Structure formats: C-alpha cells, structure tokens
Copies of this chain bind each other. A is one copy, B any other.
C-alpha cells in the first residue's frame, strides 16, 4: 500500500519537476500538535510516531526520526522500501546534509511551504541553489493522491467571555497597536494559533488538546483581518467580530491576501516573528516589504495573566487539586485490591476531573508511567503495551485539564507499596528541588536561566541531572506549553526567554529517571508575584497554585535540610487548609494523615 502511494507521489513529483520531495510533521502554524489532515508523512510512510521527516526521491526514500521511535519506525517501515535514518546515531547524516549530499546538479527540491518553517525553507533554497536547481514550495502533492484525506478541522468557535478572559478584544487590539506604533510597523502578521485565540478571545477545538481555531491574522493601524473558516462561527461570535471591527475572511485566502497587500504597499513595514512563520508566507511577502523581525507582542501579553485570569486560575487549580487528591486517595486505598493499568488509572482521574462543570478536556495526553515506564520521559501508554499497576513501587502521573477558568498541569509520583532506599532517596531529592525553586525569592530582572539553579543545584551536587527544562509557561485555556517564561539553564534556548513579570505562570517540575527501574517527577505550577520593594529593588516570589499532597511515603526526612522540612510542612499545611472543606469522613482523616507534619 505504501509502495503504491509512493509510486503515485513520484508520478506527481515528475509532473511538477520535483526531484526531492520533503514531508515534515507539522501544520501550517508550527503547532505542537497536528490534526489528521496534516498527517501526510504518516500517509506516505506508514510511520505513526509524533516526529519524523520523510524524504522521497525518484528511486529511494528515507525517514528521519529520533531515538524515541527507532524500534517503532523500523517495524512500521518494514517492506515499504523506505530507509530508516536514526537521527543522532554515529554515521547518520543530518537531514539537510543528507539532502545536499544526494541532490544532483540541476535538481529541484519540493515541499508544501506551509508546513516548513521559514528558517528551514531558506536553507533548502540555499541547497537547491548551490546545485543549480530551485525550490518548489506552493504545491501540496498529497492533495491529488490522498483521496480519502480528512477535511481540515473546522470545529465550533466560541467566545471567551470577559469574566474568563479579563480583557476585551478591543483593549487587546489597542495594546497591540500601541506596540506596533512604537516599533513603527505598518502591519502585523500573526500565524501562531495560541496568539490569535488569545487576541480575539476566541476558542475552538481544531487542534487536539489545544482549544484553538485554525486561523491567520493581519492587523494594521485601522483594520484587523481574521482568516478562518466562517462555518465554525455562530451569530454571537460574528457579532463580536463586527463590534470590534474585525473582518472575517476565508482561511485559504490568506496567502493571496498577503501577496496582494505587499504588491499594493511596497515598502510597508511588516512586523512578524520570523522564527514562527512558515516558508510559504515568507515567499509571498517577498522582497517588497521591510520585515521587522520581533517576537509576537501577544506572546508576552498573554503570558502575563491579568487579575481576572489569576483569580479564575486560583479557583480552578483548587478544583483540579480536589480531583487529583481524590484520585490519590482512590489509588492508594485500592491498589492491589482491584485491577488497575496505566490507562485505567488515567481514565479514573479524567472521570474525577469531569465532575467539575467547567472541565472541557485534558490539556495534554496524560503520561501515566508505572515502574520502569516512569523512567521514559515522553512515555505514552498504549492499550497493547500498558503496564498493570500493582501494590508495589511507584506510579508517575503527569496530567492536566482545560477549564473555562484556565489550564492546569500537575505531576505527582505515588508510592504504591514497598520501595527501595534508592527510590526513596530519589523521591526525596526531587521533592527538595521542587520545593526549593517554589520558595525562591529574587529581584525583578531575573529570567528562568538565573533561577533554574534553585531546583537543579541539589541534583548537581550529587552528580545527577534531568535532561529537560525545570519548567515551562502555561497558557490560559490555551497551550499547556507556552513561552516565553520557563526555567532552563541553557543560554542557547533563551533567545525568547524574558524577564519574569508578575502574573506569569510557570511549572516547577524536576525529575529523575533511572532506566529500567523507576522515574520520579513532581510538578507544581507557580504564579509570579511582586513582593517587597526596597532600596535594592523590587523583590519577586512565586505563589504556589497546586495543592495536591506530595506522597510522604516517598520522603526520607533525614535527607532534607531544616528549611526544606519547613517548606514541605508549610506546603502540606496549606494543602490541608485548602482541601479540607471538600473532604469528609474517611477521606478527610486520610487527608489529615497525608499532609501531616514530618
């Protein structure tokens, strides 16, 4: 089947004069998750992993993917004639090196420029140019071949009322235009879906786990055009657009609109974030306009939660904590008595979250990892592979919910029976790191690169580490991973990492992963707040939002410093005070016990 599809693709390539066709895994908006419409790489290769790039030539094809997927890809590519390129392995060229090595003189590179970033597209164009060929980027060859392709998603669009968003679209547009004026921009082009959803106070369900609509936006001093499928909009939403002077245009008219705008207004100053746009947009803008390459102002604006959002988030985190803590009670009192799997416990947790009326959907695919599976950072249980959960060892559950009052993200690792001393030491270390960062105070001006050490130093002093950031920003009923704020120490990652502002929300989630044995991660969300201002400047601190007990069965108090013991006791006292009104009887007794002073 795959060979037949590739054969058709090669015919289409011949027709279009394309010698090398590149199919990455992305949508038109550089989103973290993509819908079925965009699974072109899966269609032509049979490989179902979440990351990979297929490169097709007249007589061969190669799939590039990373270490998470080597085994799965090898199995799924078997018999397809596609070579698996194991990224990062010795002797395996990088994707672009491979393309350059194999492209012959005069040959052309093709791809759908809408699913390739501007940066990558520029590099492919350079490679083609070196060989005397060129890039063809305005064709989606899957269109003619993939006859039963799912439609582009176009779910119901809904308004986020001011009681949830805390700021009217007209005010957001005004703030954006003030920023445009300061940058002397004539027009601002926005293609990232979370920025657009935030700016227009609109939500939908076009991308799994991220309540956005597929859309582009073009904002000038007077006009705002939203390019989206009108069929998703109800009367109320259309009225809101009119009220705010926003013109709704067809989703697929965006590129021609930009091209014609740039033709009409040669020399216009266009503000956009070159790192986030696709190559097709870059080619449509061409050379006539002056590009002001800036982070999208909305990225910083939406990262700073306003007082309405903050108040909603406090409430919804409490509701979420009630659900997760009841899950903890259920899990710890029933494990070993009733059958459980990694997937069934996740279902139980989702059911408890759904009891809250404003729950919409999970904010990402739960990572439910039991025993050695907890050591796989990006683990995702499948019905075939998922482990039984038994009354021993540890279960790590990283999950979250989208609610009208905001988005949550929490990890707890639960002790289900006997654990080894090593596990207890690891568990204690992770808890110490999480609490230390949570209790950090700092002067205004710090970024996540300054503060990452607060969590990581207790790891580093033991020669340990975790190979991921300590935390990421979280959207409000938007992406669960949202910049620019984060906790990470590598400066190279920090280009868009900005100073912590009051109102920013960041996760605090150190972890330890012992291959083949166990994993521990503990994650709270932290709201950045202003503290004392004195002669030294404005001090800042983090308000904890996550009130779920840290499993004391995993804690060795003798391995904690006095101030860390004080921190966990204060935290548990807060947990008890916040949660007690929602618990009674045996559950309340249990809550008192699991939040006891140690």
Contacts and interface: CB of A to CB of B under 8 A. Distances in A.
Contacts of A454: 453, 457
Contact of A460 (B443, B452, B460): B443
List the 3 closest pairs (A to B, CB-CB), nearest first.
Answer: A465-B536, A450-B489, A453-B453
A384 interface: no
A583 interface: no
Interface string A457-496: 1001101110100000000000000000000011100100
A339 interface: no
Contact of A491 (B449, B461, B464, B490): B449
Contacts of A537: 465
Contacts of A539: 460, 463
A563 B441 CA distance: 21
Nearest to A436: B457
Given A445-B489, A447-B491, 7 more contacts: A440-B453, A443-B460, A449-B449, A450-B489, A465-B536, A465-B537, A467-B536
Contacts of A152: none
Q: Quick one: which of A440, A465, A531, A563 has the most chain B CB within 10 A?
A: A465
Nearest to A461: B441
Contacts of A563: 561
A447 B562 CA distance: 29
A423 B467 CA distance: 43
A329 to B, nearest CB: 35
A450 B454 CA distance: 10
A446 interface: yes
A43 interface: no
Nearest to A442: B460
A144 interface: no
Contact of A443 (B443, B465, B491): B465
B457 A440 contact: yes
A61 interface: no
A463 B536 contact: yes
Contacts of A449: 449-450, 491
A496 to B, nearest CB: 12
Nearest to A467: B536
A376 interface: no
20 contacts: A440-B453, A440-B457, A440-B460, A441-B460, A442-B453, A443-B465, A445-B490, A446-B489, A447-B491, A449-B449, A449-B450, A449-B491, A450-B450, A450-B453, A450-B489, A451-B453, A463-B534, A463-B536, A463-B539, A561-B561
A584 interface: no
Nearest to A451: B453
A465 to B, nearest CB: 4
Given A449-B449, A450-B452, A536 B464 contact: yes
Nearest to A563: B561
Contacts of A561: 561-563
A592 B443 CA distance: 40
A532 interface: yes
Interface in A529-568: 531-532, 534, 536-537, 539, 561-563
A520 to B, nearest CB: 16
A310 to B, nearest CB: 23
Contacts of A489: 443, 445-446, 450
A513 to B, nearest CB: 10
A463 B443 CA distance: 9
Contacts of A447: 491
A464 B457 CA distance: 21
A470 to B, nearest CB: 12
A449 to B, nearest CB: 5
Contacts of A532: 463
A439 to B, nearest CB: 8
A322 B532 CA distance: 44
A447 B499 CA distance: 17
Interface string A509-532: 000000000000000000000011
Nearest to A499: B491
A525 B234 CA distance: 68
A560 to B, nearest CB: 12
A561 B560 CA distance: 12
A35 to B, nearest CB: 36
